[in-house]
Amino acid sequence: MISGSTPASTTRTPSRPFSRCSIATERPIGPACNPTVAGRLCLAFGRSRFMTLAASDLRKSYGQTRAVDGVSVVLRPGMVHAIVGENGAGKSTTLRMLAGAEPPDSGVMTLDEASYAPPSVVGAAALGVSLVYQEITINRSLTVAENIFIDRLRQFAGPLGFIDRRRMEAAARAILERIGAQIPVSADTGRLNLGELKCIEIARALSTNPKILLLDESTAYLDHREVQAVLRVISELKGQGMTVAFVSHHLDEVLAVADELTILKDGQYVGTYRTTEIEPNEIHRRMVGRELARSIYPPRPPGDPSKPVVFEACEVAVGRELGGVSLNVRAGEILGLAGLKGAGAEALFAAICGDLPLRGGSMTLAGSLYAPSSPTSAWGQGVAYLPGDRHNEGLIADFSILDNLVMARPPHHGPFFDRAAATAIAGDLIVQIGIKTQSVDSSCRSLSGGNLQKVVIGKCLAVQPRLLLLNNPTRGVDIGARTEIYRIVRQKAAQGLAVILSSEDMPELIGMSDRLLVLRQGQITHRIETAADATEHDIIGHMA
Ligand SMILES: Nc1ncnc2c1ncn2[C@@H]1O[C@H](COP(=O)(O)OP(=O)(O)OP(=O)(O)O)[C@@H](O)[C@H]1O
């Protein structure tokens, strides 16, 4: 039995009777808490193969911030346990404590009922608990195989101490095949996309043969096809009896794979439920503390062909990724780009924001020839870019929130930085976008993943751009904040902003775009004039 205090939710009265999983009892209740048949067989033949990880009344503070404030959770063999909550609710902190990355301030953790207090991530992995972090942790100067076995290369050392690369690469290939990732094991990771990097991290976690796998927003960087592959792997691992904890802001994914879910709010435990017995609306209500609007997407104004074209690309070709694409976007319009990774959207964005030269074609901005020599030149001409990788391209994590928000266009008073104006701009954005922080001067390192994403969005809005390029803008952002970001983007569009939106989140793409283009292998394969009429099926059919 888990020791510790009674979970907070037992004192709450649900609005309708939910069958809650019994966090405080030893025995799982009902079918949803039973391991799968495969899991039961594994348990019967070797109980030590799969394990139960339980945490009771965990607490963790960072200075004044109570990141986790009395969280209890039981992860059982053969089951997928989702942990959900708004940005900053304490999900990552909880997983980090379970994985030995940080010690709790207080609380009790047990592994198969034995006391569990891993001194480090390596210590936890040795006990069978592996974490895939929310942010990308790949060393881009190493190959795929080296990254997978980064802390265990010695196991491939031959008698003379040299690494047997063939053996290491064969082992890496076997794990990647297991998760359906087609990545060459000797590939230079510097050339891989974010989805591929995430697959390598999942492979790295699996390479330790964990009994308990903790996945923190592991699908956030993946495209439609990769998400499906990872969800299949999770189901397969569950079928083998593995214990999986899964954090995601996408309830459809959660409901597709999870048996139970624990809701956190502001660091506190709300409750644990069987996914078959709680409605999505109710999950949202308990996460956010209020009902969500029926649609998270703002209404689309009718298209207005009399509005001026803000940006036009004519037969634009970039590197090997984009081969002669023509498109335009008008003031007030949101143009959606659909496509798998490498289909061409990132190359197009890189050219528009001055990061890559054109191989062919031309671009115009507000009717004039546009050929930015660098990102600084693009930003200077009113083109703001929200990159897909917030950590490497979007912000400087060691700088304060204020510095990051005004970085693209710092306010000046004569030759001097105008700190008062910067504080006012940053303060407004923090309120407008709902960035959860103690102060504008806090380091970005202190922010949760979703709040970091909001800082990057704020940085783009602070320059009051005329063209906004959004690459997966709501990656890792909770549904309440997403609704707010959609509202702000639509509001800015109504004021004349032109937006190009590339997203791997299909409902977002359909819900936010006015028109849609589908890209495949560097070409536009399909044009949808009224995005509201598009279906996911139709789009996916032209992507693959
Ligand atoms: N190292 C740190 N220093 C200071 N504060 C931190 C630190 N890590 C987390 N926090 C704070 O703890 C709270 C919980 O953060 P956590 O990352 O666990 O949230 P989360 O639920 O995973 O959010 P998200 O969905 O945005 O990833 C947040 O308010 C965050 O700002």
Same domain? 234 vs 119: yes
CA distances from 478 to 86, 426, 475 (A): 5, 21, 9
* Of 63, 57, 62, the residue nearest 5 (C-alpha): 57
Q: CA-to-CA distance for 3 and 114, rounded, in angstroms?
A: 12
How far, in Å, from the CA of 451 to the mean position of ligand 1? 9
Same domain, 20 and 107: yes
* CA-nearest residue, atom 11 of ligand 1: 67
* CA of residue 84 to ligand 1 center, whole Å: 13
Q: Is 62 in the pocket of ligand 1 (CB under 6 A)?
A: yes
Residues 29 and 107 in one domain: yes
Residue 388 lies in a domain: no
Closest atom of ligand 1 to CA, residue 264: 21
Same domain, residue pair 24 and 122: yes
Identify the CA nearest to 203 among candidates 144, 245, 156: 144
- Closest ligand 1 atom, residue 448 Cα: 17
141 vs 283: CA distance, rounded Å: 42
- Quote the DSSP letter at residue 414: T
Q: Which of 60, 65, 398 to mutate to test the pocket of ligand 1 (most atoms within 8 A of CB)?
A: 65
- CATH code of 370's domain: 3.40.50.300
**CA distance to 83, 218, 251, 276, 360, per residue, from 254 (Å):** 9, 12, 5, 11, 44
- Looking at the structure, do residues 158 and 254 belong to the same domain, yes or no? no
Does the beta carbon of 342 sit less than 6 angstroms from any atom of ligand 1? no
First-to-last CA distance in the chain? 49
The answer to whether 306 and 360 are in contact (CB under 8 A) is no
Our CA angle for 452, 503, 388, nearest 5°, is 40
Whether residues 124 and 227 fall in one domain: yes
Question: In the beta sheet, which residues pair with residue 81?
Answer: 245, 260
The domain total for the chain is 4
Q: What is the DSSP string of 451-511?
A: HHHHHHHHHHHHT--SEEEEESTTTT--HHHHHHHHHHHHHHHHTT-EEEEE-S-HHHHHH
Closest Cα to atom 5 of ligand 1: 446
Domain residues for the domain of 366 are: 307-382+467-544
**Residues 199 and 251 reside in one and the same domain:** no
Q: Are strands 334-338 and 515-520 parallel, antiparallel or unpaired?
A: parallel
**371 & 476 share domain:** yes
Helix or strand run (H / E) with residue 97? helix 91-98
| Cα(447) to centroid(ligand 1), Å | 5
217 and 203 share a domain? no
268 lines ligand 1 (CB under 6 A): no
Residue that is last in its domain, among 207, 234, 263: 207
Q: Is the same domain home to 59 and 173? A: no
**Assigned token pair, 397:** 């994590």
| pLDDT digit string (tens) for the chain, length 544 residues | 223 333 333 333 333 222 323 223 222 222 233 333 333 434 333 334 678 999 999 999 998 889 999 999 999 999 999 999 998 899 999 999 999 999 999 999 999 999 999 999 999 999 999 999 988 889 988 999 999 998 888 888 888 888 899 999 999 999 988 877 788 998 888 888 877 888 899 999 999 889 999 999 988 888 777 788 788 888 888 888 899 999 999 998 999 999 999 999 999 999 999 999 999 889 988 988 776 666 789 999 888 888 999 999 999 999 999 999 999 999 999 999 999 888 999 999 999 999 999 999 999 999 999 999 999 999 999 999 998 877 677 788 899 999 999 988 889 988 898 999 999 999 999 988 888 888 899 999 888 877 888 899 999 999 899 999 999 999 888 888 888 889 889 999 999 999 999 998 899 999 999 999 999 999 999 999 999 888 888 898 888 7
Does the structure's ipTM exceed the value 0.95?
yes
Is the shortest distance between the CB of 65 and ligand 1 below 6 Å? yes
Q: Tell me, yes or no, whether 174 and 313 share the same domain.
A: no
